[in-house]
Amino acid sequence: MNPIIYDICGTHYRMNPCLAAPLLTAILRKNGHKAWSLDAEALQLNIEDWLKRQEQPDVIGITVTYLNRNGVKRFLKQVKNKWNNTYYIGGGPHATACPKETLALGFDAIVTGEADNIITELVDEHPKGILQQEDITRDLNSLPFPDFNHHIPNPSYYNGNEPFCEHPEGISIWSRGCPSHCLFCSHPVYQLKPVRFMSPNRIYAEIKNLKDNFGIKHVFVYSDELIGMSKKQNNWIVDVCKEVAPLKLTYKTQGRCSKYSTLETFEAMYDAGFKWVFWGIESLSQKVLTALKKGTKIDDIWRTLRLARKAKINNLGFFMVGCLEEETEDYNETYKGVGEMLKEGLLQRKQVTIMTAEPGSRLYDIAKDKGWLRKLKGRAHYTPHLAMPWASRREIAERQRALSNL
């Protein structure tokens, strides 16, 4: 289940299906269970009406995130009033970061880390409590395709993720793991884990399945840093692009501006159908990037954007204000640099958010220790909630508006 949260957070999420649910459905069906996945948020489903017509399931599993945790708590309270002998499992980023808090939402058990290798055991044996899962899936080729045949709604029901390309849009993950140390990252499932790559022919088969069976025309490759991490990764993505090019689909993905960026990689991506890369730039102050442990150099940011544009790929820049050590002169460096990027045509789109300290990130631990945390009143990532010494929350909100409107 993906529970309803639109009335809690003020935004309706119908971009793409969560991949964990259909993947775990596929694994369970492969092992002899009857399983389905339901996206109540995408459907804006009335849970009370659904309970009246739904046969009681033996097990309900939910991927818990910082964003949906309050919706999860409400959903569990609603369904447990009727189905008190169903077994409830939680997992995902927030469960991994805050296992005790997640268990207290109303689950019988929560599993930390990657659940692929343990989900069948959980459904068979119904253990209770916090299950620390350290056994990561090393061979991604061994995983079945996410089972969208038993996912409600159909993938074509989703709007897709902006910027929009062809519709319907599908979603896929081609790699797992990230060796980076960004302080603000709150995804401990893959953070600081070895990078594992799916083979080009396995990726081709999954994407062909999306095209042939669900009419998918465009794919959001949901890997935070599909490119820019290493020479090995560059060689792999070039091979993948050669493999999938005959499918004649279009793609967008996320990447890291780095010294490893090459024109050859971008040209291979463009030839395969990649239209957009979303870059986690964050700031154009080297002092701020160093404070965030981003591992990025300013020169590499400019160089990467220029190479991507030379290959005719569109760049979307993610920027944050209200960062660690961001004083007025640091913000001004970012503001000036973004203006120059827009003038040079290096950015076709930008998104400006406010640095948020989410549980599971090292930034949250620092903010808690320093006494910076304040109650978040508004949408996460768009409302300042850290009382830091470098800028007032009012100044941070003004910076977000000014940079967004640039």
Tell me the mean pLDDT per 10 residues along the chain, length 406: 89 90 97 96 91 93 93 95 95 93 97 94 97 90 97 95 94 92 83 88 98 97 90 97 98 96 98 98 98 96 98 98 97 98 98 92 94 85 92 96 97
Residue pair 170/216 in contact by the 8 Å Cβ criterion: yes
Asked if residue 138 belongs to a domain, the reply is no
Kindly state the DSSP code that residue 312 receives in the 8-state scheme: T
- CA distance linking residue 324 with residue 69, whole number of Å: 26
Sign of the CA dihedral 116, 16, 2, 320? positive
Q: Which residue bears the tokens 């369970």?
A: 28
Asked if residue 149 belongs to a domain, the reply is no
What pLDDT, on the 0 to 100 scale, is given for residue 59?
A: 97
Q: Is 108 in the same domain as 229?
A: no
| DSSP secondary structure letters along 248-271 | --EEEEEE--STT--HHHHHHHHH
Asked if residue 69 belongs to a domain, the reply is yes
Within a 13 Å sphere around the CA of 296, how many CA atoms are in the beta-carbon half? 27
What pLDDT, on the 0 to 100 scale, is given for residue 378?
A: 75
What pLDDT, on the 0 to 100 scale, is given for residue 250?
A: 98
Q: Is 107 in the same domain as 186?
A: no
CATH number (domain holding residue 260): 3.20.20.70
Q: How many domains does the chain have?
A: 2
Distances (CA, A) of 226 to 186, 268, 350, 356: 18, 14, 19, 23
CATH number (domain holding residue 127): 3.40.50.280
C-alpha 394: how far from its chain's center? 28
- CA distance linking residue 46 with residue 7, whole number of Å: 12
For residue 324, give the nearest of 270, 273, 363, 378 by alpha carbon: 363
Q: Is 192 in the same domain as 101?
A: no
| DSSP secondary structure letters along 345-360 | T--SEEEEEE----TT
Q: Which residues of 83-97 are buried (b: 16+ CB within 10 A; e: fewer)?
A: beeebbbbbbbbbbb
Q: Is 236 in the same domain as 368?
A: yes
What pLDDT, on the 0 to 100 scale, is given for residue 386?
A: 94
Q: Is 241 in the same domain as 277?
A: yes
Residue pair 277/165 in contact by the 8 Å Cβ criterion: no
Distances (CA, A) of 27 to 61, 179, 289: 13, 27, 40
Asked if residue 206 belongs to a domain, the reply is yes
Q: Is 84 in the same domain as 169?
A: no
Domain that holds residue 289: 160-405
- CA distance linking residue 382 with residue 400, whole number of Å: 8
Q: Which two tokens stand for residue 106?
A: 């109303």
Q: Is 82 in the same domain as 231?
A: no
> Structure pTM?
0.94
Asked if residue 385 belongs to a domain, the reply is yes
Numbers of helices and strands, H then E, in the chain: 16, 14
